[in-house]
Amino acid sequence: MRNPRSHCPVSLALEAIGDRWSLLILRDLIMRGKRHYQDFLNSEEGIATNILADRLGRLERQGLISKSQDPEDKRQFRYSPTQKGLDLLPVIVEMARWSKKYNPHLDPASPLLRRLDADNEDFMKQILSQFKETFSK
């Protein structure tokens, strides 16, 4: 960003991240091992294809994800989070933790919610090591 509206670090982060769709794409990449356009399109939030294309471009320009030819199928692209994108995991985890507290109808037996009981550091290490496993395949 050449002309941020504010030098407040909270505001700068919000400008870089963009909107909820961008964070949901990062969630898919980091926590769900999704890598392809079609995978993001199939997420339960039902992102529209034009919004998805726009947000992927935005995330790439912000240096949060990178795009490369898929080595297994050269007709398609494969997306990965960059280190800068991975470093947003604490923001995503704090959102999940907050939701757990304020949405009592969520199934406490779900694997993600159970793991949220662990301390943050452990939980994030688990997600990152799982991520590395998926992406090294």
Q: Rule CB under 8 A: is residue 111 a binding residue for a second copy?
A: no
Q: Which residues contact 4 (CB under 8 A, 6 or more apart)?
A: 11, 12, 15
Residue of 49, 66, 76, 99 interacting with a second copy (CB under 8 A):
99
Instruction: For 51-114, give the secondary structure using H, E and C.
Output: HHHHHHHHHHHCCCEEEEECCCCCCCEEEEECHHHHCCHHHHHHHHHHHHHHCCCCCCCCHHHH
**DSSP character for 128?**
H
Question: Is there binding between residue 14 and a second copy (CB under 8 A)?
Answer: yes
Are 48 and 21 spatial neighbours (Cβ–Cβ below 8 Å)?
A: no
Residue 83 is which amino acid? Q
Which range binds a second copy by CB under 8 A, 12-20, 34-42, 48-56, 73-81? Answer: 12-20
* Binds a second copy (CB under 8 A): choice among 36, 67, 78, 97: 97
52/116 with CB nearer a second copy: 116
119 interacts with a second copy by CB under 8 A: no
**11: contact with a second copy by CB under 8 A:** yes
Binding site for a second copy (CB under 8 A): 5-17, 19-20, 23-24, 27, 31, 43-46, 84, 87-88, 90-92, 94-103, 106-107, 112-113, 116
